[in-house]
Structure 1
Amino acid sequence: MSDRYAMLTIKKPTGEEAEALVPALADVLIDCVEGGASVSFMLPLSRDTALNFWRGVARGVAQGERILLVAQDNEGRIVGTVQIVTAQPENQPHRADIAKMLVSRHARRQGVAQRLMAAADEAAREAGKTVLVLDTVTGGDAERLYQRAGWQRVGSVPKYALMPDGAFCATTFYYKHLA
């Protein structure tokens, strides 16, 4: 781990704090999509689209529908983020979805994603969640991360989504039971 990430801090902002972080979060999202991440957005991703997405996330945090976690380097810059979608149907109060696990390209392979996922487990436990689910691009780097973190592969669906350049990609689904 480089010195820049040795002092990595994971924070759980409130809705108001999340609103203040919208521009920095938009930068991370744009960087990830431009780097080829299939995270619901297509190229070119406009700054307005990214800002609007994060404003909606901040509203969801303020309304208690999701938990936002951000990773900041020792200079205070946001280098990664993940969300825990806690608003679930009435018959699934014990479940949450992990969404938009993003790490800036310059901060990858430094343990940022691993730290974010460990923090997501803890935040989900604190929220009373015992089952987590997520999906990711089949064959991508994130699959190895999730498997090392104890996630169980359910299966994959061919042509489930599009990469930012418009090519089809398969998506693999995972779950994790929290002890």
Structure 2
Amino acid sequence: MTTPVRLSAIDLVTYTPGLAALLVDAVEDGAGVGFLTPLPIDAAAEWWATQGTEIRSNRTVVWVTSDHEGVTGTIQLRFAGMPDSRHRASVSKLLVHRRARGNGLGRELLSTAEQFAAAAGRSLLTLDTPTGSGAEHLYKSAGWIESGAIPAYAADPSGVLRSSTLFHKYLG
């Protein structure tokens, strides 16, 4: 397992092909991360390229892990920008390539985002994940609190509307 590396907007350009392949892998495996199948690699790369603006503006922080075969995982931390919300951030796009699962990489990425958020003065994190997904176990075991579920919140990769579970975590 490699240590997560925080990406700058310039780094993002270098990592975009690997991040696009990771996103396609996740969607093909059924991850509810906002995309439908089939997800063409060029569409995935185009989406990642749009994240450069968010990174440059410090609204989003992205970490990536890789090994000799390429990108293995990523996570994003998105900062709330309104004056009444500057105490919180949301976690999104926690993705681990199928070939890299089962080694604690998801937990390492999540911990990295949590530690960064706390150091940045954020005291509350939120996220949503498809109800019944494997990710729910990860979040619960990492101390996240289930806030509730919203029926028909988002479509799964096949286009079927599914429930999503909301989680939050106080950082202290």
User: What TM-score results when the alignment is normalised by the length of structure 1?
Assistant: 0.92
Q: Is the 8 A contact 1:88 1:95 kept in 2?
A: no
Structure 1: which 5+ residue stretches go unaligned? none
Q: How does 1:23-62 map to 2 (within 5 A)?
A: 23-62=17-56
Please list, as runs of the form range in 1=range in 2, the aligned pairs for 1:131-146 lying within 5 A after superposition.
Answer: 131-146=124-139
Q: Which runs of 5+ in 2 are unaligned?
A: none
Cα-Cα RMSD: 1.2
Counterpart of 1:11 in structure 2 is 5
Which among 5, 16, 20 is matched to residue 22 of structure 1?
16
Aligned residue-pair number:
172
What is the CA–CA distance in structure 2 between the aligned matches of 1:113 and 1:45, rounded to whole Å? 22
In the other structure, the counterpart of 2:71 is 78
Q: What is the aligned partner in structure 1 of residue 116 from structure 2?
A: 123
Give the aligned partner of residue 155 of structure 2.
162
Give yes or no for the alignment of 1:178 onto 2:171: yes
Per-residue displacement from partner, 1:27-59 (whole Å, max 9, x unpaired)?
100000011111100011112221111111122
The alignment's TM-score, normalised by the length of structure 2, stands at 0.95
137-146 or 161-170, which moves further after superposition?
A: 161-170
Partner Cα distance (1:110, 1:58) in 2: 29
One-letter amino acid of the structure 1 residue matched with residue 42 of structure 2: D
**Equivalent residue letter for 1:9:** T
Equivalent in the alignment of 2:141: 148
Letter in 1 for 2:97: S
Q: Tell me how far apart the structure 2 counterparts of residues 44 and 165 of structure 1 sit (CA, whole Å).
A: 8
- Contact 1:16–1:62 (8 Å) recurs in 2: no
- What is the identity, as a one-letter code, of the residue corresponding to 2:47? F
For residues 65-124 of structure 1, give each alpha carbon's deviation from its aligned partner in whole angstroms, at most 9, with x where no partner exists.
110011223x27210100000142221011101011111111111111010001011111
- CA distance in structure 2 between the aligned counterparts of 1:155 and 1:83, rounded to whole angstroms: 22
Partner SS, residue 153 of structure 2: strand
Separation in 2, partners of 1:28, 1:61: 19
Secondary structure in 2 aligned to 1:128?
A: coil
- Aligned residue runs from structure 1 range 85-96, under 5 A: 85-96=78-89
Partner SS state of residue 83, structure 2: coil
Match of 2:93 among 90, 100, 103: 100
Matches of 1:76 and 1:38, distance apart in 2: 24
